[in-house]
Structure 1
Amino acid sequence: MEKGALRTGHTNAATPNAPGSGQTGFRSAVAGTAVRLYAAKGFEATSVEDIARGAGISRSTFFRHFRSKEDVVFADHDELVEQAETFLAGGR
């Protein structure tokens, strides 16, 4: 397993069940794995199975968090949009 990969069944800041970690940290960690694989193998040659294996998760866990391998690239998009909306509304 590559350095920094996620492992199911372990409780640490990168896993979705870790106290205080939230889904954002998990999704970001999986996204980081995906980006490294895209850089090494190319986007088209990288499968969801490759990403899941590299992140130490199952294919079904991947699809519980992401719609597709394209979606993983924008893992924090919704959170960033929400932060921008709050900022622009003056809620900083």
Structure 2
Amino acid sequence: MVSQKVTIIDPIGLHARPASILVKEAKKYQSAMTMRYGEKEASLSAMLKILSLAVSEGAEVEIIAEGSDETDALAGMIEAMKSNNLI
């Protein structure tokens, strides 16, 4: 298992458009990917679960990848978030 904490900078937080980007990126890998926000956790392969976290601008979240390609999965997710101005 690998993880990294990041801060959301999107002024609207994690709404539908960025959530769909996260789902698309998560589905590229075999590893299970989750996002932890406070005491809640959601699979990054399920848009509604991501939206249920209600992550707002300035929130610190932890991205977790666990599986055979976890290092690549985490790096890919972080890069997707950076390139879409989420973090």
Give the TM-score normalised by structure 2: 0.29
Q: Which structure has the larger Rg over C-alpha atoms?
A: 1
Considering Cα pairs closer than 8 Å and 6+ residues apart, tell me whether 1 or 2 has the greater RCO. 2
Q: Which structure has more helix as a fraction of its residues?
A: 1
Q: Which structure has more strand as a fraction of its residues?
A: 2
